[in-house]
Chains A and B, each alone.
Chain A
Amino acid sequence: MISAMFPLSRFLLPIMLVVVGVSGMTLRAEISAPPAPRQFVTDEAGVIPAPVIARLNSTLSRFEKQTGNQIVAMVVSSLPGGTTLADYAQILYHDWRIGSKKDSNGVLILVVTGDRKVRIQTGYGLEGALPDVACSRIIRETMEPTFRSGNYGEGLSAGIAAVMQATKGEYKRDNKGTGHQGTRTPFKDFLFSPLGLFLIVFVVLLLAGRNGRGNGCGQGPDGGMGPGSAAAAGLIIGGLGAMAARGEGNRDEGDSGDGFSGGGGDSGGGGADGGW
């Protein structure tokens, strides 16, 4: 029996490794954004007074608790090389996962002081409440004039207030918080992947082989697992561990105190930009 199983596992193992390797290779690389901020308002250019930032943070935190909408503002002095304002806003929005997974009810305000440019980027779920024209008007009428005079704190506060005003009635906040991870679990995904099914059949086969032998000559004194099934069990456990590590739902999302934490939302490129 064992001599019959050994060539089999020696043959299967390379195939399994190839399958694992190939499925790993399909993960695609993306242009990276800076890590998601812990606060709603981040000023990397150092143009907004700290008390204003603190006030905006608590306002936006309260706003998220009331409406579920996440409004995030980022002030930088320049864009990374090779990106445009719209591209960078899209990358930040996508990577920071602003708004809930279900509704994508988020807004990103990106101010680039060096280029004198500003963009309001809407998530999919707020394109109705905040159409491109509304974003453009908010920029033109409330932000640009104050930015022009150098008063970034006031301009940003006014812009955020206008965005809050436009989006406040759009969603009811559900009690579960903004994080909505769906029902797919890494374990379930793994079980129904080719590799998972493969391993299940492999283990069943091994057990069937042992039972077949047991009927003929009685239980041997070994009692423990044969090398083949031990290897299979090891692979299953290792595989599950890897799947769990790859799952991204482990982060605490939604109800995490007063700071910002992305809920899984995405943007389709809506919004408007302007300059002063």
Chain B
Amino acid sequence: MNKTLLIILALLGVVILAAVSSYNGLVSSSQSVDAAWAQVQNVYQRRADLVPNLVQTVQGAANFEKSTIVQVTEARASVGKVQINQNQAPAEAAQLAQFQQAQGQLGSALSRLLVVAERYPDLKATSNFRDLQAQLEGTENRIAVERGRFNSAVQNYNVRIKSLPAVFFAGLLGFQPKPYFKADSGAETAPSVKFDLGGTPASPSK
């Protein structure tokens, strides 16, 4: 019995087994990223679905600032235009950035609308508006949670494809690093509030 041949065969077997098992690990890790992505899509969709109802409610308030409503409606429309796979996490950083930018615009338009609504006590007192506000806050909170989970799933995956032994196989098997959500550029700047002392509706800051 040729011992050298036996050892070489066994080593080859080890390499193949390691490749197979790290492939399986990478697949499941990649699927966790996709699952987290689907959740992210869910919660963003939930927010988008609230918009028509919210717009309708604030329009009911006497002379509610029109430009704010227009901004929300436009941002909602541009969110719908971003083409993105709902079930598979984006592979390109640019794709994710585009999605995030559109959603960020809707987010800041909505928060501006809530700020403006502070000036309409009659509107704020209606239970319909308060319910919508609670739903919107809950949805923003869910977005933050699911985005955080998505990022940690991506981190887990990205660390994995760069760790031993997967680092030897990941590139060959087509596993590329995936992009993260970045901290929102609008998040650190609070929407500007303008107090109109003259009684005319304030113009929105563009």
Give the Cβ gap from A269 to chain B, nearest Cβ, in Å.
Answer: 3
**Inter-subunit contact A197/B138 (CB<8 Å):** no
Please tell me if A262 contacts chain B, counting CB pairs below 8 Å.
no
**Inter-subunit contact A136/B14 (CB<8 Å):** no
Task: Spot the interface stretch: A15-23, A55-63, A158-166, A250-258.
Answer: A15-23
**Inter-subunit contact A197/B18 (CB<8 Å):** yes
Residue of B134, B155, B159, B160 with highest tally of chain A CB at under 10 A:
B134
Q: Given A90-B145, A136-B131, A26–B138 Cβ distance below 8 Å?
A: no
Query: Quick one: which of B25, B130, B144, B155 contacts A136, CB cutoff 8 A?
Result: B130
User: Whole-angstrom distance between the alpha carbons of A136 and B139 in the complex?
Assistant: 13
Q: Could you say which interface size class chain B belongs to?
A: 35 or more
- Beta-carbon contacts of B7-23 to A below 8 Å, as 1s and 0s? 10010011001100110
User: Whole-angstrom distance between the alpha carbons of A22 and B155 in the complex?
Assistant: 14
Residue of A18, A132, A205, A216 with highest tally of chain B CB at under 10 A:
A132
Q: Among residues 1 to 59 in chain B, which have CB atoms less than 8 Å away from a CB atom of chain A?
A: 1, 3, 6-7, 10, 13-14, 17-18, 21-22, 24-25, 39, 43
- Find chain B residues with CB under 8 A from A136 CB: 130-131, 134
Q: Among residues 190 to 226 in chain A, which have CB atoms less than 8 Å away from a CB atom of chain B?
A: 192-194, 197-198, 201-202, 204-205, 208-209, 212, 215-216
Query: Quick one: which of B1, B14, B22, B134 contacts A212, CB cutoff 8 A?
Result: B1
- Find chain A residues with CB under 8 A from B134 CB: 132-133, 135-136, 272
Q: Given A22-B163, A22-B164, A26-B163, A86–B21 Cβ distance below 8 Å?
A: no
Query: Quick one: which of A4, A204, A271 contacts B3, CB cutoff 8 A?
Result: A4
**Inter-subunit contact A19/B164 (CB<8 Å):** yes
Give the Cβ gap from A184 to chain B, nearest Cβ, in Å.
Answer: 11
**Inter-subunit contact B3/A28 (CB<8 Å):** no
User: Whole-angstrom distance between the alpha carbons of A215 and B1 in the complex?
Assistant: 10
User: Whole-angstrom distance between the alpha carbons of A29 and B135 in the complex?
Assistant: 31
Q: Given A133-B134, A268-B39, A194–B22 Cβ distance below 8 Å?
A: yes
Please give me the residue from chain A that is nearest to B155 by CB atom.
Answer: A28
- Find chain A residues with CB under 8 A from B65 CB: none
Query: Quick one: which of B13, B22, B142 contacts A270, CB cutoff 8 A?
Result: B142
**Inter-subunit contact B164/A212 (CB<8 Å):** no
Q: Among residues 138 to 155 in chain B, which have CB atoms less than 8 Å away from a CB atom of chain A?
A: 138-139, 141-146, 152, 155
Please give me the residue from chain B that is nearest to A18 by CB atom.
Answer: B164
For the A-B complex, the count of residue pairs with Cβ-Cβ distances under 8 Å equals 97
Please tell me if B156 contacts chain A, counting CB pairs below 8 Å.
yes
**Inter-subunit contact B156/A28 (CB<8 Å):** yes
**Dominant secondary structure of chain B at its interface with chain A:** helix
**Inter-subunit contact B156/A269 (CB<8 Å):** no
Q: Given A198-B17, A272-B138, A212–B6 Cβ distance below 8 Å?
A: yes
**Inter-subunit contact B142/A268 (CB<8 Å):** yes
Give the Cβ gap from A93 to chain B, nearest Cβ, in Å.
Answer: 10
Query: Quick one: which of A197, A209, A269 contacts B21, CB cutoff 8 A?
Result: A197
Give the Cβ gap from A275 to chain B, nearest Cβ, in Å.
Answer: 13
User: Whole-angstrom distance between the alpha carbons of A78 and B13 in the complex?
Assistant: 58
Please give me the residue from chain B that is nearest to A23 by CB atom.
Answer: B163
Please tell me if B165 contacts chain A, counting CB pairs below 8 Å.
yes
Please tell me if B122 contacts chain A, counting CB pairs below 8 Å.
no
**Inter-subunit contact A271/B138 (CB<8 Å):** yes
Give the Cβ gap from A32 to chain B, nearest Cβ, in Å.
Answer: 16
Please give me the residue from chain B that is nearest to A1 by CB atom.
Answer: B3
Please give me the residue from chain B that is nearest to A7 by CB atom.
Answer: B7
**Inter-subunit contact B156/A26 (CB<8 Å):** yes
Please give me the residue from chain A that is nearest to B18 by CB atom.
Answer: A194
**Inter-subunit contact B165/A19 (CB<8 Å):** yes
**Inter-subunit contact B152/A28 (CB<8 Å):** yes
Give the Cβ gap from B159 to chain A, nearest Cβ, in Å.
Answer: 5
Q: Given A4-B3, A22-B163, A136-B130, A198–B14 Cβ distance below 8 Å?
A: yes
**Inter-subunit contact B138/A269 (CB<8 Å):** yes
Q: Among residues 143 to 183 in chain B, which have CB atoms less than 8 Å away from a CB atom of chain A?
A: 143-146, 152, 155-156, 159-160, 163-165
Which residues does A use to contact B, with CB under 8 Å?
A: 1, 4, 8, 15, 18-19, 22-23, 25-26, 28, 86, 90, 131-133, 135-137, 140, 192-194, 197-198, 201-202, 204-205, 208-209, 212, 215-216, 267-273
CB-based closest 4 A-B pairs? A132-B138, A269-B145, A136-B134, A269-B141
- Interchain Cβ contacts under 8 Å between A and B, 16 examples: A4-B3, A18-B164, A19-B164, A26-B159, A86-B144, A132-B134, A132-B139, A136-B130, A137-B131, A194-B18, A201-B14, A208-B6, A208-B10, A209-B6, A269-B142, A269-B144
